[in-house]
Structure 1
Amino acid sequence: MPSTSSVSTDSLFHHRAYVAFWFARISSSFGMQMLSVAVGWQIYAITGRALDLGLIGLVQFFPSVLLALPAGHMADQFVRRRIVLFGQIVEWIAIALLAGMTLLHAINEIGVLVLLFIISTAKAIESPSMQSILPALVPANLLPRAVAVNGSAMQAAMIMGPALGGFLYIAGPGVVYIVSAVLYLLSITMMSRVRYEQAPPKREPATLKTLFAGVHFIRERKDVLGVISLDLFAVLLGGATALLPIFAKDILHTGPWGLGLLRAAPAVGALLMSFWLARHSMQRHVGTIMFASVAGFGVATLVFALSTVLWLSLIALFVLGAFDMVSMVIRGSLVQLDTPDAMRGRVSAVNGIFINTSNQLGEFESGLLAAWLGAVGATVVGGVGTLVVVGLWMAMFPTLRRRQRLQMGTGKA
């Protein structure tokens, strides 16, 4: 298991650029989580149509997939901090327009969806650059902890952001948008203060070869391919959270309060585990730990599937979230450390496509299986499938299984 390092977590916060980056990430994440709650409520209040709620997901999904490769190319061709600032400024303008038009009662469902599409497009352009900045802010030996601390910020935003947005919505969606805009302004301010060393980008024209360079790189690096594909199939098969309303109502016989606890449990487990990982470094057997964590995710999914009592289901989801955080930190650190800086934008873009696709298709796969086999049967299949994938990947990627350390040049047995 991970061992305690002699370096304290405070070492991360001795790097001023990282501190500014961390505050920028948590501010924008809180703002986006609050925004997502307000947009859903407002759209449904305007139209009363469930279809429009589906359109919210659609206008966010298409930019994230279609613009990922061009955005990754941009991240490796230009100064990444400027790309992030450009994206966040566009997002801030769109959120400010949402607030102003809502307060002036000049908004309709088309206006909300168009502005949300603009926000999602800017987010898609920003994302590969944002992910690629982190390794430049801290030494390589502190990167896993930085990933864990960032993960704790994201989980905190996922837990508290929607709750805060829902509370502020009592005063109206315009108030939520104003607070979200203020948080984005804080993020822009902090990101403008991030300073780091980046080699002068080698400008190349955007061709199919340069756009797909990240795909080619991943195919050539077996450890990176194994990590990214393991994440794809594990998330694709283990999407039990999409079926939580069915479990809450029909199996656990609880109400909305119980559903809220079920939705929060994985995030709480991930948050607490991220705190632990931020204080402990993984010095040996990182490949084995990663595979064991994904297997633990599958076992927790099976326990949840077969549970008929709320307390056991909550424990299973809590453990599921904790295991997922361990594997996420290892996967994220390994991909960044095994990728040269000149390629990080394009590799991050491909990784983002895998993550977004697996999340979306995982929910679809769970719903489709649930229609055929029932919620319990579908979740059991997902848990067993995750364990099968772990076994296959351990056989197909032996160097990844034997991986000892995360750092480049010292990672393989």
Structure 2
Amino acid sequence: MGLLLIPAFLNVEMHFTGHQITYFIYGVIFLRELRELLSSRIVPSMIPKIVQKENLPNAVTLNQATFLISSVCGHAVGGFLIGFFGVKWTLVVIISLIFLASLFFFQLKKQYSEYKKDQINVIDSMREGISYIFRTKEILGALCLDMFAVLFGGAVAMIPVYATDILKVGAEGFGLLNAASDIGSMCIITILSVIPLRKNQGKILLGVVTGFGLCIIGFGLSHLYWLSFMFLVLSGMLDGISVVIRGTIVQLKTPDNIRGRVLSVNSIFIMSSNEMGQFESGLMAKLLGVVRSVVFGGSMTILVALIVGSTNPKLRKMQY
């Protein structure tokens, strides 16, 4: 992010053209995403080393709540800062906050893993992580639920069509619909950070994924704006519960020496299902029509939850 200060403050002196600034910004974004990819795997892997095991569910919930609230509110805060201080000084504020946050990492004590780098090569390391996921039915079931729920329940991709052609609510209505799921997730994860789930988390996970599918069906069939909005808020709340339970299961059931690899595979599940879900929504909308495609996606989400629940008793009985 600090590289953006160069064109922000030295644009005139260095005689940047518009194309050069554009390419420079793309390069910075590319580097930022690489950094984000690494940190998004490292930080969750550190949590079990920082907190005690009995506090791990609360720590995972708090981590998810902090991330979600920041991602939702960050855009709005950035807009206000640009309005008050301009782009240059907004960048200074952001970079200063990043630097301040990084100082907290230096307060952490060093932790060591039982894993030794010279014991295994990269290919075998990857194979071991994937093999562990397939051997651990609780993790495999939780990841499958997430992947297929997002793959088939990607109603968000159809929100622009609903806002303009079905609900006819315009740009403001579209903005609220687009934010509805995040609003629901933010609210429920904040609640769970104060009132955590105490038992039967496996059954709850299966239940909320099923409820998520029902909300997608309800959204697909609704022609009332307020009802569509509430279905999306509720789907976000159910998805937020799923995120917390799934993240805690992965942390609790994964040994320290392969936690990074398991979380990396988890990330692949999430990112691939997000992108493929939008493609699936567009393809099915082309084949079946918008409403039928959304209803189909919600129905498939429910079917996946029923299949996983009936074939994975370990996940169904999981509690922590």
Q: TM-score, normalised by structure 1?
A: 0.72
Q: Distance in 2 between matches of 1:377 and 1:362?
A: 15
SS in 2 for 1:212: helix
Matched, 1:363 2:274: no
Deviation at 1:391, TM superposition (A): 0.8
Paired residues of 2:177 and 2:232 also in contact (CA < 8 A): yes
Correspondences of 1:289-368 after superposition (within 5 Å): 289-368=204-283
| Per-residue Cα deviation, 1:231-282 (whole angstroms, up to 9, x for no partner) | 1111111111122111111111112211121122111211111122112233
Question: For the Cα contact (< 8 Å) 1:270–1:324, is it kept in 2?
Answer: yes
Deviations 1:192-229 (A, max 9, x none): 22236433541235331113221111011111111111
CA distance 1:234–1:208, shift in 2 (3 Å):
same
Moved more, 266-275 or 195-204: 195-204
Q: Which residue of 2 aligns with 1:138?
A: 51
After superposition, where does 1:90-105 map in structure 2 within 5 Å? 95-105=1-11
How far off its partner does 1:284 sit? 2.3
Say whether residues 1:185 and 2:99 are aligned partners: yes
Distance 2:121 2:8 in 1: 39
| Unmatched tracts of structure 2, length 5 or more | none
Q: Contact 1:156–1:271 at 8 Å: present in 2 too?
A: yes
What pairs with 1:248-267 in structure 2 (closer than 5 Å)? 248-267=163-182
CA distance in 2, matches of 1:207, 1:166: 43
> Equivalent of 1:283, from 183, 198, 201?
198
Deviation string, structure 1 residues 314-356 (Cα, Å, up to 9, x no partner): 1111111110111111110011100011111111111111111
Residue in 2 aligned with 1:225? 140
- For 1:318 and 1:388, the matched residues in 2 are separated by 22
Per the alignment, residue 154 of structure 1 pairs with 67
Tell me which moved more, 327-336 or 162-171. 162-171
Which string of whole-angstrom CA distances, capped at 9 and with x for unpartnered residues, describes residues 107-161 of structure 1?
A: 5222111111111122222322111011122222222221222222122112211
Q: Is the 8 A contact 1:298 1:384 kept in 2?
A: yes
- Write out aligned runs for 1:4-403 (5 A): 95-105=1-11, 106=16, 107-170=20-83, 172-195=86-109, 197-199=111-113, 201-204=115-118, 205-403=120-318
Q: Give the SS at the match of 2:289.
A: helix
Q: What is the SS of the residue equivalent to 2:117?
A: coil
Tell me if structure 1 keeps the 8 A contact 2:7–2:21. Answer: no
Number of aligned residue pairs: give it: 311
What's the RMSD between the two structures over aligned residues?
A: 1.8
How far apart, in 1, do the equivalents of 2:101 and 2:203 lie?
37
Tell me the alpha carbon deviations over residues 71-95 of structure 1, each in whole angstroms, 9 at most, x when there is no partner: xxxxxxxxxxxxxxxxxxxxxxxx1
Return the offset for 1:176. Answer: 3.8
How far the C-alpha of 1:395 sits from its partner, in A, is 1.8
Whole-angstrom distance in 2 between the partners of 1:281 and 1:152:
12
TM-score, with length taken from structure 2: 0.91
In 1: Cα distance, 2:234 partner to 2:55 partner: 25
- Judge which range, 317-326 or 271-280, deviates more: 271-280
| Structure-1 separation of matches of 2:282 and 2:100 | 39
Q: Aligned equivalents of 1:332 and 1:145: distance in 2?
A: 11
Alignment gaps of 5+ in structure 1: 1-94, 407-413
How far apart in 2 are the matches of 1:251 and 1:353? 34
Tell me, yes or no, if the aligned pair for 1:136 and 1:196 is still in contact at 8 Å: no
Distance 2:109 2:193 in 1: 23
CA contact (8 A) 1:100 1:174 kept: no
Seq. identity, %: 35
Q: CA deviation at 1:102?
A: 3.0
1:104 match: secondary structure:
helix
Asked whether the equivalents of residues 114 and 257 of structure 2 are also in contact (C-alpha less than 8 Å), the reply is no
Structure 2 CA distance for aligned equivalents of residues 354 and 100 of structure 1: 37
CA distance in 1, matches of 2:197, 2:30: 40
C-alpha contact (below 8 Å) 1:291/1:401 kept by paired residues: yes
Structure 1 distance, partners of 2:308, 2:88, is: 48
